[in-house]
Amino acid sequence: MDNVTHSLVGWALAETGLKGKTRKGLAACILAANMPDIDVFLHAVPWAPLAMHRGFTHSLIGGVLVLPPLLAGLLWLLDAWQRRQGRDFAGMPGMHAGWLLALCYLGALTHPLLDLQNIYAIQLFSPVSARWFHTDGLFIVSPWLLAFLGLGVTLSRRRASRRKVQVGTPAGLALLASGLFIALNIAISQLAFAALEAGPPYAHPDRAFASPPPFAFWQREVIWRKDGRIARGVFDPMHDPFALRSYGEPVADAMDDPLVRRAVASSAALRDFLAWSQLPFARVRRAPCAAEVTIGDARYAKGPVARGFTVTAEVPLPGAGCRAR
């Protein structure tokens, strides 16, 4: 999910009253909710699970167990430094290590739970397992969640400013509404997967994704792979909750093409891309002396972001007049 949504989830948690448990409580909730995305700055790290976006830092081991104590320690040191600088914390809660650590753990847990909901997927058990997990419950930027959480945080802060009782805060209700919304969307995606197999095209894929759009959350673009062929369909429970509304013919992914295999063997960039890709496909353009091999991911093969999710390598071809490379 986007970092605004992650921040709002942490903020909403804090506004339920948790931020009053310890000084730096609000910072702990918001920063911990964003902390796993530190991996976007670690792509050059030589350890693959850490360099992989949504790998180790998004797993139950790295993101939920390892990182929160580090954040809690940094916030504790920041508070100590501010006190040495003469910062006045009058009227604020005391610094409680136990609560600070607990809030860091709670905020960090929300991050993989949210990122699990979209088709980008996460490596939930990295580095023990490189398997990717996804529920396909949300578009990567959900305007619905932004509305729920933003309204909840705003109303809670207004209530707090008027010194009203915080039981059943709007922030808490916003978190509840968000959870119910996510559960509903997971159920819709499960219906989409069932429709793919129960009716035409009667597909039993080895991999499938059900991508929701940002606003019409009940619809799904279903993408699946079976026997080296990738196909797409549309599911709309308003039209029929038990069948795809439409679907196209499967297209070969071309991953078994000998030129593609040669390109992968010779290109570290292609191998890194394949370690992340869930539904890879290849396109080969042949010239007299070389072939250009482009590998993409079918999840992002359409729309304005398609070019950002491809990697290309060149494979030399033998022939008269061609220089050896």
Whether 303 has a pLDDT exceeding 80, the answer reads no
Whether 324 has a pLDDT exceeding 70, the answer reads no
Confidence of residue 307 (pLDDT cuts 50, 70, 90): low
Per-residue model confidence (pLDDT) at position 182: 97
CA gyration radius for the chain? Answer: 24
Per-residue model confidence (pLDDT) at position 211: 93
116 CB neighbour count, 10 Å cutoff: 22
Q: Output the average pLDDT for the chain.
A: 91
Per-residue model confidence (pLDDT) at position 21: 93
Distance CA 17, CA 122 (A): 30
Contact in structure between 63 and 36 (CB atoms under 8 Å) = yes
Give the CA dihedral 211, 135, 189, 33, nearest 10 degrees.
-70
Closest to 125 (Cα-Cα) out of 192, 203, 64: 64
Distance CA 85, CA 80 (A): 9
Confidence of residue 317 (pLDDT cuts 50, 70, 90): confident
pLDDT digits (tens, 9 = 90+) for 123-154: 999 999 999 999 999 999 999 999 999 999 99
Confidence of residue 167 (pLDDT cuts 50, 70, 90): very low
Listing DSSP states for 54-106 in one string gives TSGGGSIIIIIIIHHHHHHHHHHHHHHHHHHTT---TTS----HHHHHHHHHH
Closest to 122 (Cα-Cα) out of 187, 27, 211, 56: 56
Whether 45 has a pLDDT exceeding 80, the answer reads yes
Whether 89 has a pLDDT exceeding 90, the answer reads no
Whether 294 has a pLDDT exceeding 80, the answer reads yes
Per-residue model confidence (pLDDT) at position 94: 87
**Is the bond into 201 cis (omega within 30 degrees of 0)?**
yes
The strand pairing partners of 233, in sequence order, are 222, 247
Select the highest-mean-pLDDT range: 3-12, 82-91, 286-295.
3-12
Confidence of residue 304 (pLDDT cuts 50, 70, 90): low
